[in-house]
């Protein structure tokens, strides 16, 4: 499909973080943009202010007559009337990932993949390149604080995208440079097994254009078997490694000063003076590979050091919401055991010897079922846990799968199972020192209430 011929694009589920970035891209490309979403949000209101037309009723009469491309998200249920009407009336419906795939074929593309860390790393890469004078376009799965946006528009040939393994969406991308951050078991409702997840990442890596680059965290190299190496070599794809004190490019001499991670970068020679405001060694690792990719694209060390220092992070990625009388309120999107481990470890490192309370909303019945032992183990690293009911997202309930199965695995004494609507009152008379609100559902809607009620803000 030739996207240059398209004039009016209709988005079903335009308010999603990925969909809205794509809508912004096409708006900047001079297309007319219309869309539907279930509810109005601050993001959809911003899209309207930028020039898009959006409605919030599932009403086929509000679909414009002039559309020539329809993009939808799998989050829109099959029962949606507009989805059915468009399908029945001969419109070809494209997933967001299909359109990103077309863009990645027509542009030079950096794709950030991995079961954790995609959004943060994608945003760091985008920021480093933009601030170093490389005018990239970028699609990010979160709101970058430096730009208050999930999309950056540029005039160069380069685009930066997240390569999402869910629903095997990343297999529609054809990058020049790809990064794989992690290959942990996840989305087992799609893949079925850890081996199938690895196979998905193998297939993704082999979609890198001939002569391209693959960046792997050093610990992941053991997963690349002889056949995988051979297949990459046949396409002349070069493997590079990175890490913390390991890999071809690595962070060394890591220290924490005034809440910032300070480190040197070893690339054969040592580049000193890097500082990162994001907490956690996992984010230092993310910044290392982002810097390595940006250097490959021609950025100077001076620009990269300066940009790393000024990067502010992503909303809902260890976002410090409030500080009051020494107490801290943190909002984080973590919803997989390894993401929770990273967030809790970062809090322990930044706030040693402090009382750590976690408020966690599990996300998806299948993820709860598949990783219940992992959730129990990592949530037991808190001093106190407040656990809410499962956020179902796209799923129907599964018999026997509730938050209680996680609750029963948690070994700390201070643990409480509550309904989300009772959260605010449940915090009364508790010791609120370092408080983390954790989860990918709608638990973030409670953050401002907690802030106003208990943090004098």
Q: What is the pLDDT of residues 227-262, one digit of tens each?
A: 999 999 999 999 999 999 999 999 999 999 988 999
16 and 78 assigned to the same domain: yes
290 and 169 assigned to the same domain: yes
Answer yes or no: is 102 within a domain.
no
Q: Please tell me the total count of domains within the chain.
A: 3
18 and 53 assigned to the same domain: yes
Of 139, 157, 158, the closest CA to residue 147 belongs to 139
Answer yes or no: is 101 within a domain.
no
Q: So what's the pLDDT on residue 94?
A: 95
175 and 294 assigned to the same domain: yes
Block residue for tokens 């860390």: 117
Q: Hey, what are 87's tokens?
A: 């399908």
Q: What is the pLDDT of residues 35-54, one digit of tens each?
A: 999 989 889 999 999 999 99
Q: What is the pLDDT of residues 386-416, one digit of tens each?
A: 999 999 987 899 999 999 999 999 999 999 9
Q: So what's the pLDDT on residue 375?
A: 98
Task: Flag whether pLDDT at 457 surpasses 60.
Answer: no
CATH of the domain at 47: 3.40.50.720
Block residue for tokens 């109005």: 40
- Output the CA–CA distances (angstroms, integers) from residue 304 to 64, 142, 271, 299, 300, in the order listed: 45, 22, 10, 7, 6
Report the DSSP beta bridge partners of residue 133. Answer: none
137 and 10 assigned to the same domain: no
329 and 450 assigned to the same domain: yes
Say how far apart CA 64 and CA 70 lie, in whole Å: 11
306 and 348 assigned to the same domain: no
Say how far apart CA 129 and CA 152 lie, in whole Å: 11
Q: What is the pLDDT of residues 340-391, one digit of tens each?
A: 999 999 999 889 999 999 999 999 999 999 999 999 999 999 999 999 999 9
- Averaged pLDDT score across all residues of the chain: 94
Q: What is the pLDDT of residues 13-39, one digit of tens each?
A: 999 999 999 999 999 999 999 999 998
Answer yes or no: is 227 within a domain.
yes
Q: So what's the pLDDT on residue 188?
A: 66
């Amino acid at each position: 499909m030739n996207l240059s011929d398209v004039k009016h694009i209709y988005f079903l589920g335009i308010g999603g973080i990925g969909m809205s970035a794509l809508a912004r891209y096409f708006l900047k490309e001079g297309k007319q943009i219309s869309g539907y979403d279930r509810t109005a949000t601050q993001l959809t209101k911003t899209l309207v202010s930028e020039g898009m037309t959006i409605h919030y009723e599932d009403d086929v009469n509000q679909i414009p007559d002039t559309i020539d491309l329809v993009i939808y998200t799998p989050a829109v249920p099959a029962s949606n009337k507009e989805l059915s009407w468009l399908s029945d009336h001969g419109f070809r419906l494209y997933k967001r990932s299909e359109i990103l795939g077309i863009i990645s074929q027509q542009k030079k593309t950096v794709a950030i993949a991995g079961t954790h860390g995609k959004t943060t790393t994608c945003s760091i890469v985008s920021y480093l390149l933009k601030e170093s004078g490389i005018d990239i376009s970028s699609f990010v799965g979160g709101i970058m604080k430096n730009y208050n946006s999930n999309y950056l528009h540029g005039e160069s040939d380069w685009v930066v995208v997240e390569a999402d393994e869910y629903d095997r969406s990343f297999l529609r991308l054809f990058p020049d440079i790809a990064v794989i951050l992690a290959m942990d078991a996840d989305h087992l409702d799609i893949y079925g097994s850890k081996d199938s997840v690895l196979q998905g990442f193998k297939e993704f890596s082999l979609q890198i254009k001939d002569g391209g680059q693959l960046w792997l965290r050093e610990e992941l190299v053991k997963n690349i078997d002889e056949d995988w190496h051979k297949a990459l070599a046949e396409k002349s794809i070069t493997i590079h490694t990175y890490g913390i004190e390991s890999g071809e490019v690595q962070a060394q001499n890591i220290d924490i000063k005034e809440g910032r991670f300070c480190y040197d970068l070893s690339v054969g020679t040592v580049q000193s003076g890097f500082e990162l405001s994001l907490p956690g060694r996992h984010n230092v690792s993310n910044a290392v590979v982002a810097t390595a990719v940006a250097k490959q694209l021609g950025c100077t060390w001076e620009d990269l050091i300066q940009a790393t220092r000024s990067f502010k992070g992503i909303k809902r990625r260890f976002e410090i919401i409030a500080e009051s009388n020494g107490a801290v309120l943190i909002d984080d999107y973590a919803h997989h055991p390894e993401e929770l481990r990273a967030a809790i470890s970062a809090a322990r490192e930044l706030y040693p010897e402090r009382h750590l309370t976690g408020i966690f909303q599990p996300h998806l019945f299948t993820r709860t079922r598949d990783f219940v032992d992992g959730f129990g183990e990592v949530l037991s690293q808190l001093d106190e846990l407040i656990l809410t009911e499962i956020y179902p997202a796209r799923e129907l309930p599964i018999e026997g799968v509730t938050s209680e199965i996680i609750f029963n695995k948690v070994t700390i004494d201070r643990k409480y199972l509550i309904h989300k609507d009772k959260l605010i009152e449940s915090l009364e008379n508790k010791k609120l020192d370092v408080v983390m609100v954790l989860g990918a559902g709608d638990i973030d809607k409670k953050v401002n209430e907690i802030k106003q009620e208990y943090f004098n803000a």
